[in-house]
Structure formats: C-alpha cells, structure tokens
Amino acid sequence: MILVIPAIDLRQGKCVRLVKGEAGTDKIYSDEPTKMAIVWRGENFKALHVVDLDGAFEGKPVNFPALKAIVDAVDIPVEFGGGLRTYEAVKEAFDVGVYRAIIGTAAVKDEELLIRLLMEFGPRRIAVGIDMLDGIVQIKGWTDSSGLSAIDLGKKLKNLGVARVIYTDISRDGTLKGANIEAMREFAVQTGLRVTASGGVKSYEDLIHLQELEEFGVDSVIVGKALYENRFPCVELWRLNEKVLDDLGPTRRG
C-alpha cells in the first residue's frame, strides 16, 4: 500500500501552501505548524514532510525553531528539505531530530557534498528532491533551471548511490489538477530509484492511480492542499471530530 505523507510547508514560521512554488501565492493554513503536525499524527499518518520555503529561497534553512517544535511534538519520522546546501545545514537538521534530509540544489551543484552525505549518513537518510518543470530539473527554490533532464539526473544519482528521490511536477504543485502519473511512471522505470511522488494530488482517485505504480518503485506520495482543503471523504469528518477533542491521542514523544 502506498504511503501517504502530509506536507507542512513553513514560511515565516507559519504553515502555508504555494501554487507552483511561486512566491506571493501563499495561502496560510495555520499560524501554528506544530498543532498541524499533531493533527496529522492524530489522524494516524505515519510520517511528515516538512519544507522550509524561506530556506529554499534564501539558500539556507530559516525555520529550524518551527522544525524542532514539530519533531519534538510527534512520534513519527519527519523528513525535511529547503535550503540544505551545506554539510553543516544537513548536520543541524539531523541534530534537530529529523529522520531524512532532502537535498535539492546541492545534489545538482555539489556532487562532492552529496557523496559525503551519502557516505556519512547513508542512503536511507539522504534523499534527493528532483523538482521538474517540462522535464527539466529546477533549482534554487524552483527559480533557476539546471538545464538537466529529470531522467538523466535520476540515472546519475542512482550511480552515485542515491536510493530515493522526491519527484515533484512543479506545473501541478498546489494546483489540485491531479498527479502527473505518466511522467512519474516513466521516471521510476528509467531510473530504478525509489520514488516519493509529489505535486497535484487532488483526490482519492489519484492515490489509486499512484498505487498502480508501486511495482515500478513509486511507494509513497506527498499530499498538501488536497488534505488541507478536505478533498478526501474522511477528512472533513475528522475535522469536525477534532473540534470537540481535547486530546488527539498518542501524538507526543514520551
């Protein structure tokens, strides 16, 4: 069964969603990301995907305090990306308590750093974010083109020892237009990598279609706006129940 991972995107300490990653399209869903993390844990999700949007734009993490609060609040793995472009930034993320660090720009620009991270922390704890627009990988908070095709980069990463990528179709991200199933299938088949799909998921039907890609290596999916806007049958009911709950269950670390 494909693993569904809720997204928590941090901007100025708040939980937001952007459309296609573009600055200025922010929609705030919570002023308290930690409470949002507890909600997702209370709804029995098994992992969280946290992105420092400010960090992605500025080139270094900015929202470590909010990240630490999230990690401390829940007892499930948290993966984190956004501005992790130096060894020190990645080490600090692990010191904060994240399970997996996601490298994007640095995986394209600094092969030596990527190899060092893989050797020191292992391929289970280092993933690469491949953010694709019209087949070409975008970097620096999706503001620059790398000039590399997503598939070519994926093959190179596989040879370097990368095991997992977060594959995002930027044209779909935050749009609720549906996941790009065919592109994800082709990427997984061509590269042989384990793939976490991201971008555009709008409904339960998208999850069913992604489930069909599991045999090719697509074993998980990040979902953002569709969860925040109650696009799944069970979510609205959960929200109504949570309004009257004082305790969301065993969400905090002991």
Does residue 114 contact residue 128 with C-beta atoms inside 8 Å? yes
Largest CA distance in the chain: 52
Strands 48-52 and 78-81: parallel
Residue from 78, 82, 107 nearest 94 by CA? 78
Does residue 184 contact residue 213 with C-beta atoms inside 8 Å? yes
Task: Print burial letters for 14-35: b (CB count within 10 Å at least 16), e (below 16).
Answer: bbbbbebbeeeebeebeeebbe
Whole-number Å distance between alpha carbons of 162 and 160: 6
Q: Specify whether 54 is catalytic.
A: no
From 54, 131, 169, 206, active-site residue:
131
Q: Specify whether 9 is catalytic.
A: yes
From 9, 52, 169, 173, active-site residue:
9
46 contacts: CB under 8 Å, gap ≥ 6:
3, 5, 76, 77
| Catalytically annotated residues | 9, 131
